[in-house]
Structure formats: C-alpha cells, structure tokens
Structure 1
C-alpha cells in the first residue's frame, strides 16, 4: 500500500511540473516592438505625402498606398494594446494552473484519506466472482421486503418477488405461504400453481402431499400446461407405486418437446432416476492404483462391460444387471449395443410390467428411443 501511494504521489508531481514548466515558457517580445512598428508606418505615410507633392506618384496610387500603410498601422497599434494586457492575463492563468494542479490533488487525497478506506486490501474482480453471495445482504433485502409487505400485505408483486427467495433460503413453508398470496392477489396461472406445489413438496421433505398434488394438477390444466407440474405429477405416480403411469406422463412430454427444449435434460435425468439403474462396480484398492492413465482406466471399464454382456448373454441375470449393461454401453458410446441390451431384456422380462416400465424409462432417458434417438 505504501508503494502504491508513493507511486501516485510521484506521478502527480511529475504531471504538475510538466504543465507548470510549459506555462512558464513564453516567447520573449521586446517591450517597444509595437511602438517601433507604429513609428515606421507613420514615417511611411509622411513619405507618401512627400512623393505626391513632388509628383512622383499620382493621387490614385497615393490613396492606395496610404490605405495599406494605415491598415498596418492599426494592426501594430492593436498588438501594442494586447501585449500591454497580456502580462496580467498570463499571471492569472498561471495562478489558476497552480491551484488546479497542486490544490486539487491535495484536496482529493485528503478527502479520500478521511472519507475513503485506504487501508482496505484490493479486491480483484476474478476473486470476487468466486465468492458466495453475501448472506447478510440477502437477509437484509428480505427484511426490507417483509417490512414493506407488513405495511401493504396486498402487494402481490412483492409476494411474487420474495417467494422464490424464501425457497432458495430453505424457508419452504414461507415460500408456500407467499405463493398462496400471489395466487390470491394476482390470480392463478399454471406456473404459479406449479411453484406452489414445488414449495409444498420441499416443505414435506421430498414427498408429494395431497395439497401439492392438487396444485400440480391445477398447473397442467388448460392450453399451456406446466412442464414442472407434469414432472412432479410423474414423481407422485412413482411415489404411489404406479411406475407405468409415471413413465406414460414423462414419455408424452418427451414426444411433444421441441428438439431444442431447455427441459429435455431434466426429463432424461428424471427418466433415468425412475429406471433405478444400479451402479457399475469399478476396480478398487490395488487394482485401481495399477491403472495409471485415463486410457488404462477406460480400457478396464470396457473389459468389465464386455464381460458383463457375455455373462448375461450366456447365463442371463436380473433386471438390475441388464439395466446396468444398457446404461454402460450408452455411456461408452456403443448405442447399437445399448439398444440390443434393452431389447434382450424386454424379451426376457416381457411378463413383468414394472420391469418393462423401467426399461422404457431408461431407453428414453438415454436417448435410445423417442426424442433424441
């Protein structure tokens, strides 16, 4: 910090002296230069009169010469007056420059020392961008909004602003109350009903309660049903043990979604979650330590997946193993082999409705069928 202030002081001083030096330098003009010019031009006028008297020039030439000499005489007289006034003007400009270049920096630095925070360390933008939001500021903002709502509880926009903040802060019950106020004051829309249901779902710690289900069902009514509401209703169906109904709802969303729909990723994640795919057991201990490079680890994974596929093709296996094989094939980029695994599993578990639903969910979630296939 000391080095910074020293550098600033030196730079300011250098700038001051450069400007003052420029102001100090001026072109020296003899004091009687203008008076000498005036005297010369007056002599010329007298000379013209003498030449006319001797008949050396005619009257027309004499008049022209007198006009030109008179013009030069007036100009010389004006320069003399300006130079007489110049000295005080230059002194005033120099005084103003000294005040501006010396006084203003001193006043500015002194004011910053009193009102600013010169002892605070620097805060680079890159470092500040990585910091988490100031919780105290968020809490202060929430307090201000709450105070305003306490004075005007019928401010629907205020409730709509604070509701998602409550949810982000983990205050799900408050968020649900805020969304109820929004619907009461501003009217019901699919998005507002879906947000209310989401807050009730969070308040119930991940369970779709009856109140949440009602809100989600309202959110999918009409011509513009809520995607969020449909996702939660699918989860409610799975929660009730009706996986085919959950899959049917998500499959409909998948088929109707535009190719660039921003919620396709969430749909696929939800479908894979419903498939309940057990993880592939990976090497551990000494065997894992022996795999030094990414290429070695990838080769080991492929070896394990191929071994699983050979075993299931020869001996068969449970549904979880078939799901694991299909997902592993897809992750490795072997989409044709992943589809073949799905079809083999469907044939094997053709009489099990729940197994069929899990296989369908995984196929959709991996993009092997429907949208993205």
Structure 2
C-alpha cells in the first residue's frame, strides 16, 4: 500500500504546485499590468491622430477647400471623437491579488477528494487490500493452510462484492479437500462475475470431487454445458480424463488429457498431464480390455 499512497501524495503535490504557481506570480503580474496602464500610450496616440487630422483640416481651409462653417463643424467632430475614445480607453480598476485565494484551497481539497473517491469506486482498492493480506500472510509465523484460509475468509467477508476475494479461497479449499466449500465460493464468484467456461469447468470439477469422484447427472450437465461453450477447455478435459481413467477407459483418458494438454499453460499441470498420459498408455498396453487405475495424475488445472 505504501508505494501507492506515496504516488498519490506526489501527484497531489504536483497538482498543488501547478495550481498555486499563478498565485506566486500574481503580485508581479498585477504590478506589470498597472505600470502598463499608467504608461499606456494609446491616449497619446489618439492626441497625435487628432492633431494630424486638425492640421490637414487647417490646410484644407487655407487652400479654400472648405468654408468657415464647415471647418468649425469638422473640428467639433474631431474633438468629440477624441473625447469619446479617451473615455472608452480608461481602464477598470484591477482586483486585489489577495482576492479569490480561498478558491484555490477549495479546488485542491475538491481535487484530492474526487481523486480518492474515483479510485475507491472505479479503481482496484479491494484487490490492493487483498495483495496486502497475501503479503501479511506470507510474512506470518504460521504457514499452515488453516491460517491462510482463516485470513482470506475474513477478507472475503469484508469484501463480499469482490470476486477476487472469493476466488482466492477456492484453491485453498480445493487443496485442503474441502470441496463443498470450494463449490460454495465458486458459485459466489460466478454470481459476481458471470458464467464463463473456465469458472463452470472449475465448478464441475469441484462438484465431481465433492460427491466422491462420481459423474452425477448434475456434474454431467455442467460438463456438457462447458463443452458446448469451449470444446477444448483444459480443466474440463482434465476432469473427464481422470474420470475415464478411474473407469479403466485408458484410451478415452488419453484423448481427454491430450486436449487438456493443448490448452494448458501451467507447468505443474502440464507435467501431471504428461505423466497421466504415459501411465494410461502403459495400462492400455498391459490391459487394453479395461480395468481401473490407481496412480492418477492431478486434474487441478
């Protein structure tokens, strides 16, 4: 958790520096703007334009281009425009550089709150907590599976809507031989995540072992459903190969395990499947008519 919080704090500090930088520059900017407005040459430019036009008007009158009445009227118009432009260009008073500073603090607090809320609802806060629990359990002085299970049960109850929390319990229950509990947590994961071939295959396997390694109608229906969804699902074919082996159907077991091997990525499961295929071949050669096997590979994918 610590690196995450360090990262969050660092980002918020950078955000604060980015937001507060204009506040440090505000006094200088205000002084520069005031100086510019005081020394603004626009008014002087207007006067120069007025004088230039007035000189041209005087020249025109001297050359007899206009009479006295038109001259007076044109001069009044020039003076009126000068007054109007001078009035428009009067700058508004600058606001104090201290005004609005409290809005920056409000913005910083709002950004921090919004970031934490967004991470809580849309991020992986629950999975991060699970990671912390895994580190805690790994570093504990009690390496027993019972301690692992008890700690992850607590976390799953604390995060009832997090499928990852329940998913971590499944292999622990399975490896401890608690197949009824394995079925229960798998059904919880499926309810949260939805049905996928992989989860349904795991559920079929857990139910198969929970009833004493028997292919019950319920397990058969689940197996057929998975096969329709994913005909090459490795966990399913691992279980079906195991069942065929126990019934002495060694060629059928080999066929299923070959399919499982093609989709298997776990090295330990791959070794177990290869060993199972070799044992099934030996049994098939020694007793092609059938029989039951005893040294069976694990079907845990």
Compute the TM-score of the two structures, normalised by the length of structure 2: 0.47
| Bigger Rg over Cα | 1
Compute the TM-score of the two structures, normalised by the length of structure 1: 0.40
